[in-house]
Structure 1
Amino acid sequence: MPTNSATAAIKPLATPFDLQSRPLSWKIAAVVFGTLLLTVSSYIEVPMVPVPVTMQTFAVALVGALYGWRLGALTVMAWLGQAMLGMPVLSGGAGGAQHFMGPTAGYLFAFPLAAALCGWLAERGWNGNRPIRAFTGMLLSNAVCLLFGAAWLALMIGLEQAIALGVTPFLVGAVLKSALGAAVLKLMARGRMRPAG
């Protein structure tokens, strides 16, 4: 018979908003808000070739960490669905199915996986209560995006060029965005622990 501590170690922890236990209306509202956050993050960009630097990976990882792996991935997929339908939700207000075949396709397809990974880790304690783990989880989420993005780019321009243009310029940004994400989670965790009054 398993002990209570063993069962607690296996059971995922609640994410900051505890959306897993909320009614469906809360989850729908969270998805709508999450897609708006992802859209706003797409408009914050530094133009580069062939892929611009945006705050998308920050928002993808944050949505995963706040929503949990299932709802986080679903929210990112809803946002990508909006993009596929032509809504101006991607970098620079872009939209349309063509972006899922161009240079950014690998990154786009990686986003739900990155959110799911960050959410899965957050549910297991890699969250604002443990900032170093939260930072590592965010960094791993960014790494998933860079890995898939570079793999897709390599098919178009070769591996060496894909790493030079699709990975190396984004490494510092990945570290900074992961640190920012961990700081946000830490602030949220501190706010939840503060007594009312």
Structure 2
Amino acid sequence: MNSELNEKDILKGNISDIKSRIKKLRNIDYDKLIEEEGKGKNRKTLIEWLNSEKEKKGIEKKKEELKREIPIEKIKFYGKKKLTSEEKRLFRKRILEKKTKPRFMRQEFTKLKRLKDVWRKPRGIDSKQAEEKRGKPKTPKIGYKKTKKIRNLHPSGFYPIRVHNIVELKKIDPKKEAVIIASSVGRKKRNEIIRIANKEGITILNPRKGEIMSIKSNNDAK
């Protein structure tokens, strides 16, 4: 508790003032406050609120302790793949394709503020965009697709695959595919996935803070 304020000073005034005062303080002994309030004015609503805050703090502490207990498994393989000369050529081609690909805008998007920036097929009988008149926005066609060899490729050079468990991880081809661990996966299961990925030489594309193995520890592991 703050050295400048004792229990009596904190419990001065009305309930709303006491609550705002307590929220500003860092370390609070709720048991002493409840005891002091019981001896004094004995306001039931305030005592109930102090008990609920005490329970919340206890739950938060338990969660923090659990987080500290579970260690973080380090990722060995992450980042880009070593591309062949042919793959580099295809990636350069993909960049050019992306630049030349037009922006597909829905009809009247530039005129009506209420319309969202999402594609919708023009359906009017006399729609100039549907008739592909000159000067009107382009419509999606088969010809705008990317090259088949590099379609759906991640910028790292791998095909990204979302993984939820070890069974899905074992189906991965480390030479062509890389893993994106699902956000719903918890710390314990995530550690297991990382451990097996390190053994199999599988690349993980979404490492979290503190998961990337340092260069020194990576050299020691080798």
Q: Which is higher, the Rg of structure 1 or of structure 2?
A: 2
- Comparing both structures, which one devotes a greater share of its residues to helix? 1
Does TM, scored on the shorter chain, surpass 0.5?
A: no
Q: Sort the TM-score into its range (normalised by shorter chain).
A: under 0.3
TM-score when normalising by structure 1 = 0.24
TM-score when normalising by structure 2 = 0.22
